[in-house]
A = this chain, B = another copy of it.
Amino acid sequence: MNIYDISKLAGVSTATVSRVINGFDNVKPATRDKVLSIMASQGYTPNAFARGLGLNTMNSIGIMCADSSDMYLAKAVYYIERNLREEGYHCILTCTGYNRDSQKEALSSLLSQHVDCIILVGSTFIDKDNKKNKYIYDASDSIPIMLLNASLEHKGIYSILCDDSAAMQEATLNLLDNGRKDILYLFNSYSYSAEKKKSGYRSAFELRKMNCDERYIHYFNGSSQDIEGVYNFISGLAEKGLHFDAVLASDDFLAVGAIKYAIRNGIKIPEDLSIIGYNNSVLTNCCEPELSSVDNHLEVLCQNLVRICIGTLSGQSMAQQTVFRGELVHRKTTINKSNDREE
């Protein structure tokens, strides 16, 4: 069943059927009704491939993310997909992993699929050595590229992010201003976003004219599922003589490991150990005491990303960089001398 069949049944030309399909108003109402009823009775749907060939688009958008089973990335993908779908686009999801070659391959695969736009979810796709970002710059010559939680300055690249540095600085300041001296900083990635967080931690010390001791900054090289591993990691640091009265983590799961460490060693939270996580995920609610964490308003980020994406695709000129502020959400693992806000 194609447009020819419909046109014959309706006794009109394919052009008229096409006009009806695409809602043009220069069709006599009687003709339109007849065509519509025949299309309905035949259950006819225009062939998407033929349409794509002619119009050079199938209204599809590529979403790249390293690991859509990661809680944070999964949420991002979810928000983005829902918003795009409402706008009539469908999403091709590719989980690339963290290997750069796989990521490049996935990108060119999407390009060869002729998607209208590609969204890079998370900063793992950006290289510190800017020359190595050429694969992204090249892609942006053919279609718009959207970056979530990362930033790259280039025509055709649109960055939507939370100021992770400021958010982490705020969290660090909260700890310092509540009398914490030895803040263990845990991170598990060297991505763009992760480095920003770390710089926020450091800058807080500068701001308070304090020395930021590098011995308190530690990289956990393990899976985000392996909370027991985090516990062992922290225990190891303590056994080596490192003393700390606070833990600040670049991800909630690391902070949960710290809570485990405190509970198992009879350390009081938050009196003797304050703990702050990042992402404000469900993990914050599943431990006792509940974890204070930085919320970077992912849903808002995603809504704006889609807004800018759609705007760009419809030819409007949109902001190249859009930055939001994160927010420290206090729960039970921090002392909050100002106001003890509850969720």
| Interface class of chain A by DSSP | helix
A78 & B60 in contact (Cβ 8 Å cutoff): no
Contact with B along A66-106 (1 / 0, CB 8 A): 01110100110111011001000011111100000000001
- Give the residues in chain B near A50, CB-CB below 8 Å: 53
Copies in the complex: 2
- Give the residues in chain B near A47, CB-CB below 8 Å: 53, 114
* In the complex, A330 has a CB within 8 A of chain B: no
A109 to B112, CA, bound (A): 22
A91 & B92 in contact (Cβ 8 Å cutoff): yes
Once A53-B49, A90-B109, A282-B227 are accepted as A-B contacts, the answer to whether A68 and B77 lie under 8 Å apart by CB is: yes
Min CB–CB distance A306 → chain B (angstroms) = 13
Residues 40-80 of A contacting B (Cβ, < 8 Å)? 45-50, 52-53, 56, 58, 60, 63, 67-69, 71, 74-75, 77-79
A113 & B74 in contact (Cβ 8 Å cutoff): no
Contact of A225 among B85, B91, B285, B288 (CB under 8 A): B285
B256 & A286 in contact (Cβ 8 Å cutoff): yes
A74 & B85 in contact (Cβ 8 Å cutoff): no
Residues 121-146 of A contacting B (Cβ, < 8 Å)? none
- Give the residues in chain B near A79, CB-CB below 8 Å: 69
Closest B residue, CB atoms, query A138: B43
- Give the residues in chain B near A90, CB-CB below 8 Å: 92, 94, 109-110, 113
* In the complex, A287 has a CB within 8 A of chain B: yes
B95 & A81 in contact (Cβ 8 Å cutoff): yes
- Give the residues in chain B near A253, CB-CB below 8 Å: 282, 286
Contact with B along A253-287 (1 / 0, CB 8 A): 10010011001100000000000000000110111
A49 to B54, CA, bound (A): 9
A42 to B309, CA, bound (A): 29
Closest B residue, CB atoms, query A54: B49
A224 to B92, CA, bound (A): 27
- Give the residues in chain B near A228, CB-CB below 8 Å: 285
Closest B residue, CB atoms, query A97: B82
- Give the residues in chain B near A264, CB-CB below 8 Å: 288
B95 & A285 in contact (Cβ 8 Å cutoff): no
A226 to B93, CA, bound (A): 28
Given A58-B113, A68-B77, A93-B93, 10 other A-B residues pairs in contact with their CB atoms under 8 A: A49-B58, A53-B53, A67-B78, A68-B74, A74-B74, A81-B95, A90-B109, A91-B92, A259-B288, A282-B283
Top 5 A-B residue pairs of the complex, sorted by shortest distance between their CB atoms: A74-B74, A69-B78, A49-B52, A49-B53, A93-B93
**Interchain residue pairs with CB less than 8 A apart (20):** A45-B111, A47-B114, A48-B113, A48-B114, A49-B53, A49-B114, A52-B53, A68-B77, A68-B78, A69-B71, A69-B74, A81-B94, A82-B95, A85-B106, A90-B110, A91-B93, A92-B93, A260-B288, A287-B287, A287-B288
